[in-house]
A = this chain, B = another copy of it.
């Protein structure tokens, strides 16, 4: 592989001059610039990012921490992140933490060693210590799709309006005549779930419906959880006629449970999911769900981070994206 010295020799200039044209410095005459460019071309030279990183401290790579890339929600986020990275000349290192704090810490350590320019974090429990420390160490960080209590810290946050998401989902069910609506959430340590619950409660109260605490359950975002909990709740004497689930996977579990118990969706049971992943279109019946614009969130988060890295922003922004309800065929009017 050709080095900057080879180029300098060929163009009959110093390596400093070559470095200048590589970095688009104006302090180079048109003539020499051309000469250098020609040499670069001829040698098929391309600068070694590692070497320049050693002085410039910039590797043009970002770290993305997510629980699991095989989960379609995070895959969508990751796609948005990668799209933005590519658009701005960055690359991204993906890390699956499996919701484990030790893995998260280990990845953060590893990536710091590698001098990455910043972190996009979508894995944190609320006010996770690893993340707080990272932010306090002055590394550029953006929190994606999660929340953090960023009072005295410089950190960007990109989330969607989870309170409203919970609200419109529940309101939709109420408008269809449902009164007994179960609410299956993810882990309470992930703050979006508290927000979605808030939206649920708001809609219920607004409609003057009484909230039955036994119908509000925290879980783990998985199909299995939706399945088991739904069976439990559907076995209740006074069973719910509708479910609001905090993600599509859980909602799918509910649909499976209903079918398992010989009930039909949406005739007997209405179900609303959350995320609008590709699964929502595929499941039968197609799922009514809250659409989060995951790709856009990933893209925007990355844009913010890169601006921050380039010094074009000083961080500390909080972006809340809109959500909307995609009505498909898993919800219908209740007759009873």
A309 CB to nearest chain B CB (Å): 16
Whether B47 contacts A113 by the Cβ 8 Å rule is yes
A79 and B72 in contact, given A50-B54, A50-B114, A51-B54 (Cβ under 8 angstroms): no
Whether A50 contacts B61 by the Cβ 8 Å rule is no
A86–B109 CA distance with the chains assembled, in angstroms:
13
1/0 per residue, CB under 8 A from B, across A145-186: the answer is: 000000000000000000000000000000000000000000
Whether A96 contacts B115 by the Cβ 8 Å rule is no
In the complex, chain B residues whose CB is within 8 Å of the CB of A94: 78, 82, 92-94
In the complex, chain B residues whose CB is within 8 Å of the CB of A70: 72, 75-76, 78-79, 278
User: Who on chain B is nearest to A68 by CB?
Assistant: B79
Give the residues from 280 to 331 in chain A that come closer than 8 angstroms, CB to CB, to chain B: 282-284
Whether A69 contacts B72 by the Cβ 8 Å rule is no
Whether A91 contacts B91 by the Cβ 8 Å rule is no
For the A-B complex with A46-B112, A69-B82 known, give 10 more contacts whose Cβ atoms are closer than 8 Å. A46-B113, A50-B53, A54-B54, A69-B78, A70-B78, A72-B75, A86-B103, A92-B93, A94-B94, A284-B284
Whether B49 contacts A114 by the Cβ 8 Å rule is yes
A263 within 8 A of B: no
Copies of this chain present: 2
A293 CB to nearest chain B CB (Å): 14
In the complex, chain B residues whose CB is within 8 Å of the CB of A112: 46
Whether A252 contacts B282 by the Cβ 8 Å rule is yes
1/0 per residue, CB under 8 A from B, across A90-110: the answer is: 011111100000010000011
1/0 per residue, CB under 8 A from B, across A58-83: the answer is: 01110000001110100110110011
A21 within 8 A of B: no
User: Who on chain B is nearest to A47 by CB?
Assistant: B113
A115–B114 CA distance with the chains assembled, in angstroms:
12
A132 within 8 A of B: no
